[in-house]
Amino acid sequence: MKKIAVFTSGGDAPGMNACIRAVVRTAVYHKLEVYGIGRGYNGMIQGEIFRLFSHSVSNIIQKGGTILKSARCPEFQTPEGRKRAYDQISKFGIDGIVAIGGNGTFTGAQIFHEEYGIPVIGAPGTIDNDLYGTDYTIGYDTAVNTALDAIDKIRDTADSHERVFFVEVMGRDSGYIAMPCAIGGGAEMVMIPETITSMPEVIETLQQGWRRSKTSFIIIVAEGDDEGGATEIAAKVKQALPQMDAKVTIIGHVQRGGSPTAADRLLSSQMGMAAVEGLMAGRTNEMVGVINGEIVYTPFHDTITKKKPISESFLKLVQILSN
């Protein structure tokens, strides 16, 4: 292993830059040449590959987003696209790749390795925290804190105007952002893709609170909930309970941005170093993760195919503490 490359792909996440920094400086420490690939798989196909040095990643650990940029790339899903990517990688003599991204990124990396034998180690960069094989993903802690800050502000106006607020957070297939936001934000209910929450149950919860003279409510909705998004759910509640003043706030992509928290900076740095050292040790087709505070490596196949379960204790906390 003499030359490695690093790229970011999929949705951006706070801490990606800290991970890039760790990859570059770990490679330099071990006297490896390190290259950046701009714009994910798209940049790999287009040959957007450039040498990185220690000074290239100065003053980026605190920045959100990714200095390497990110882009969707349908062309990489084709054999012809992957062949073009391999030809570009070969020009630089790259021996291994660190892929920072999520499920789609690792799916592409696994196929690329199977076809061309380039060793790849993944670092989990996604705010959703939905990847099997790690307790936390890069950007998750920052996203939760960003959403929670907004929820605290919404609580103030909900209380002042005696309103029901349906707050939608990100999480297309995962309630990992919604759950701690509901607990930390003192929400009356949480709606997530992992559980079925019927509209009659939502309406009954609101009616029970109303009978106890409760005048404001916060309900956290993960965008992928089976009943729909916050706007759709709020419309159903207004129809059933016209006496309630129901409002909707969609926090949206603000959860992806911003300076990473200390937890995300530390996690990203650990994972970046472990990814490089994993490549040096001959590992491939694995994602680096942290479980119970220890670095672990999980095969891409397991990360891609296995479902990460939601904490039952968190569900119980919401139910008990919302009374």
Residues labelled as active-site residues? 128
From the list 294, 272, 300, 271, the residue with the least C-alpha distance to 119 is 300
Residue 155 known to bind ligand? yes
40 close to 10: Cβ distance less than 8 angstroms:
yes
Any binding-site annotation on 169?
Answer: no
Is residue 96 annotated as involved in ligand binding?
Answer: no
Burial of 11 (0-12, 13-18, 19+ CB in 10 A): buried
Residue 23 labelled as part of a binding site: yes
CB count, 10 Å around CB of 277?
17
Annotated binding residue at 113?
A: no
How far is it between the farthest Cα atoms of the chain?
71
Cβ within 8 Å of residue 163, ≥6 positions away:
157, 216, 217, 244, 245, 246, 247
172 is in an annotated binding site: yes
Whether residue 143 is annotated as binding a ligand: the answer is: no
73 is in an annotated binding site: yes
User: How many whole angstroms separate alpha carbon 9 and alpha carbon 104?
Assistant: 9
- 39 assigned to a ligand binding site: no
| CA-wise closest residue to 170 among 161, 157, 179 | 179
Tokens 């969707």 sit on residue? 72
139 annotated as a binding-site residue: no
82 in a labelled binding site: no
Query: Contact at 8 Å (CB) between 189 and 230?
Result: no
- Is 83 flagged in the annotation as binding? no
Strand 3-8 to strand 96-101: parallel, antiparallel, or no bridges (unpaired)? parallel
Contact partners, residue 25, CB within 8 Å, separation at least 6: 54, 57
Q: Return the number of other C-beta atoms located less than 10 Å from residue 51's C-beta.
A: 11
103 marked ligand binding residue: yes
Instruction: State yes or no: 102 annotated in a binding site.
Output: yes
Binding residue per annotation — 126? yes
Q: Which residues pair with 124 in a beta bridge?
A: 101
* Annotation: binding site for ADP: 21-25, 155, 186-188, 212, 214-216
User: Which residues participate in the annotated binding site for Mg(2+)?
Assistant: 103
Annotated binding site for substrate: 126-128, 163, 170-172, 223, 247, 253-256
Binding residues for ATP: 11, 72-73, 102-105
Binding-site residues, in ranges, read 11, 21-25, 72-73, 102-105, 126-128, 155, 163, 170-172, 186-188, 212, 214-216, 223, 247, 253-256
